[in-house]
A and B are shown apart, each in its own frame.
Chain A
Amino acid sequence: NAGVTQTPKFQVLKTGQSMTLQCAQDMNHNSMYWYRQDPGMGLRLIYYSASEGTTDKGEVPNGYNVSRLNKREFSLRLESAAPSQTSVYFCASRNRAANEKLFFGSGTQLSVL
């Protein structure tokens, strides 16, 4: 049971380049989330998907887009990367009921030069 899988693990981009971070979970969870983690800022929610076919903005959505491709997969796209988007990105999932634990992927370390 792999849990939550993120790819890639590391990525270096130049300012203005685009890329997509991939996330897949095999636990049949309804809800999926994208967070970024920055020193001194903690974990901040970028976007989330409460269920297949729905997405909503979190605390820091500017500069990002998401796609809930199916129940398993939730991708995060940077259309035109900026140095301020240098961060560690985490995908997470859980069952829709808020009393279920949140499961995290191992993260993507992104540097934008």
Chain B
Amino acid sequence: KQEVTQIPAALSVPEGENLVLNCSFTDSAIYNLQWFRQDPGKGLTSLLLIQSSQREQTSGRLNASLDKSSGRSTLYIAASQPGDSATYLCAVTPGGTSYGKLTFGQGTILTVHP
């Protein structure tokens, strides 16, 4: 059974810092990996999706990398801002299916203070 772990569980940084969130998964036979953002009381918003054949994806100040063989992904946030405060979740889609049975990590709660 695929297990997804996110470290750290919570992170507090001052505004302007660059930071890295970590995601690891136990079964490397994945189809893709997604990073999501969740604001309190809201649904999840997809930030980046990395296909299993890709090494990284970038969107603005966000960069996600994937090392499938080692079962790891990182989300890099450059020049963090208070508006980045949220919970960040990663999720993997297993290989061999197109039905989107994602397995989610439990998330990293990020607080960026002014």
Q: Does A33 contact B (CB under 8 A)?
A: yes
Instruction: Return chain B residues, CB-CB under 8 Å to A101.
Output: 34, 46, 49
Residues B25-48 near A (CB distance < 8 A): 31-32, 34, 36, 41-46
The CA-CA distance from A92 to B104 in the complex, in Å, is 14
Bound-complex Cα distance A90 to B91 (A): 15
Question: How many chain A residues have a CB neighbour from B under 8 Å?
Answer: 27
Task: Determine if A62 is an interface residue (Cβ-Cβ < 8 Å).
Answer: no
Bound form: Cα–Cα A50–B51 in Å: 20
B98: interface (CB < 8 Å): yes
Contacts of A44 in B (CB 8 A): 104
Whether the pair A105, B43 counts as a contact (CB closer than 8 A) is yes
Let me know if B43 and A104 touch, CB within 8 A: yes
Q: Is the CB of B99 within 8 A of A48?
A: yes
Q: Please report A residues at the B interface, Cβ cutoff 8 Å.
A: 4, 31, 33, 40-45, 48, 50, 56, 58, 90, 92, 94, 96-99, 101-107
Chain B interface residues (CB < 8 Å from chain A): 31-32, 34, 36, 41-46, 49, 51, 89, 91, 93, 97-102, 104-107
